[in-house]
Amino acid sequence: MQNSKNVKLGKNIVLMFLVYFFPKIFSFFLVPLYTSYLTTEEYGISDIIISTASLLAPFIALSTPSAVMRFTIENKEDKRPIWVAIQIYFIGMFILMLILIGANYIFGIKASYLVFVFIIAGSSVLADINMSYTRGIEKMKLVTICGIGSSLTSILSNILFIVVLKKGLYGFLISSAVGYLFNIALMVGCNFKNIFASQIVDATFKSLRKEMLQFSIPTIFSGLSWWVISSSDRYFVTLLCGASMNGIYSVAYKIPTILQAVDNVFYQAWIYTLYDSYKTSDGRKYIAKVYDVYNFLFCFVGSFLITITCPLARILYSKDFYAAWHYVPLLIISVVLSSASGLMGNFLSIYKKTKKAMLISITAALTNSVLNYVLIMIMRDAMGAAIATVFTFFVSWVLNLHEGMKCGNIRIKWEKALLMYGVLALQTVAIIISKNIFIAGIGLFLIIALNWNNIMWAKDKWKYLIKRSV
């Protein structure tokens, strides 16, 4: 029974790897280009524009992309879900346009910045709607092609507008939008016949719209809380330390992007494993074991990245951005904790404990906001934001772990997880103080020693998967 679950989980991981990992890696390799051709201030401003666009995105279509996939999976022949989302999208874009015009008039915000907020937010939401529909009808090859294709298009656009045409900040923003627009064009082109193949508006359209909104609107608040935790620190750094400091701090996030990509792959595959296993006692034991093994692997990769932070920063960052390496180890820990928290938070969704999930998100968001302001004010440096992010995700992990174990009746080895997080913290202190990769590297061996049984378990399962594949 477990072997079949392993095979299914392995297949899902491979598929999600193709869909989600490659785009992140492409973005990672653009870091040297950004740090060579953009000033710290330009990168800081671009980061604020993109963060603002990501804040506004859920409100444009009222988070209906998630509902599109959910309702399309139930009936792949039904085209109404995507049209409900598109209808709401255009209304939202009109309202956003009025808001941005008002922001320009009242606050005097530069019009060109607001135009790019509008374009990037709008194109990302429309791409998300199309992606959700395509996943709903299970055209995963198209999803993969679009993901990789949009990333390659973005890379070429960056080279063209930043390196060749030397458009600087605006070249970066144009390239960000071009990737989304390519995605939209390809998906709409491939799905055109499907979308327009049948009657769209009928007597049940309004009732479906109501049902989809009831599903999607609550997710806005969780998404907003997540945005506060993951992005509000950039605003605090910009306001209290300046755009140039935010540019350096934002670049520091690029190395942890590797971990985020891995996490996104496993997260998407993990969902299917949870739904298959949570109802039985053996299934819950299996979930606990997979969680334990994954937490080890994630901590191991995080430990390795912390160890090589300095030499990796020398390769990726230009002289003006090199100071960013100081923040990288802490941000790596925050991604590790974020991953562990998110995986446990899935239990709350499975058991329909959405109110508790929302309260945890809000608690974490408030904690993050207070700590960001206090620590940045005290330290007068982005290090305060990095520490605040780590502590926030630790609080989120503790709360999600407690509620997830309680409602799911699942025994997670939290003591071992806590020890590994402690090792990562000691590595961070060692690397920041000494810059010695050999001293920091001791943490790798400690994490391996704590998880030798997991290594043997994963080795046996890997052999089985290879045998099945052959």
In angstroms, the CA 314 to CA 335 distance is 22
Q: Are residues 176 and 238 in the same domain?
A: no
Residue 169 domain-assigned (yes or no): yes
Model confidence band, residue 297 (pLDDT cutoffs 50, 70, 90): confident
In angstroms, the CA 128 to CA 133 distance is 9
Q: Are residues 108 and 231 in the same domain?
A: no
- Give the pLDDT confidence of 350-405 residue by residue, as tens digits: 666 767 877 888 899 999 999 999 999 999 899 999 999 999 999 999 998 888 78
pTM score, two decimals?
0.77
- Single residue among 178, 202, 226 that ends a domain in this structure: 202
Name the one residue in this structure whose structure tokens are 């739904």.
275
How many domains does the chain contain in total?
A: 2
Integer angstrom CA distances of residue 138 from 121, 185, 214, 333: 26, 19, 24, 35
Q: Are residues 196 and 236 in the same domain?
A: no
pLDDT at residue 49, as a whole number: 94
Q: Token pair for residue 386? A: 């990095």
Q: Which of 71-75, 145-149, 306-310, 401-405 has the highest mean pLDDT?
A: 306-310
Between 408 and 167, residue with greater pLDDT: 167
- Single residue among 157, 174, 202 that ends a domain in this structure: 202
| 48, 109 contact by CB (below 8 A) | no
Residue 9 domain-assigned (yes or no): no
Residue 453 domain-assigned (yes or no): yes
Residue 14, pLDDT above cutoff 70 = no
Residue 5 domain-assigned (yes or no): no
Residue 218, pLDDT above cutoff 80 = no
Residue 81 domain-assigned (yes or no): yes
Angle between helices 256-277 and 281-307 (to 10 degrees): 180
Q: Are residues 326 and 356 in the same domain?
A: yes
Q: Are residues 269 and 296 in the same domain?
A: yes
| 135, 141 contact by CB (below 8 A) | no
Q: CA angle, corner 322, sides to 316 and 323, nearest 5? A: 140
pLDDT at residue 141, as a whole number: 75
pLDDT at residue 418, as a whole number: 93
- Give the pLDDT confidence of 304-363 residue by residue, as tens digits: 999 999 888 888 888 889 899 999 999 999 999 998 888 887 777 666 676 787 788 889
Residue 21 domain-assigned (yes or no): no
In angstroms, the CA 460 to CA 293 distance is 13
- Single residue among 167, 202, 237 that ends a domain in this structure: 202
Which amino acid is located at 383 in the chain?
Answer: M
Mean pLDDT to the nearest integer, 99-118: 93
Provide the domain limits for residue 249.
Answer: 218-470
Residue 201, pLDDT above cutoff 70 = no
Q: Are residues 190 and 164 in the same domain?
A: yes
Q: Are residues 276 and 237 in the same domain?
A: yes
Mean pLDDT to the nearest integer, 158-168: 92
Rounded percentage of the chain residues whose pLDDT exceeds 70: 84
Q: Are residues 140 and 177 in the same domain?
A: yes
In angstroms, the CA 441 to CA 304 distance is 7
Q: Are residues 234 and 143 in the same domain?
A: no
pLDDT at residue 184, as a whole number: 85
Q: How many CA atoms lie within 13 A of 431 on its CB side?
A: 30
Angle between helices 80-107 and 40-60 (to 10 degrees): 130
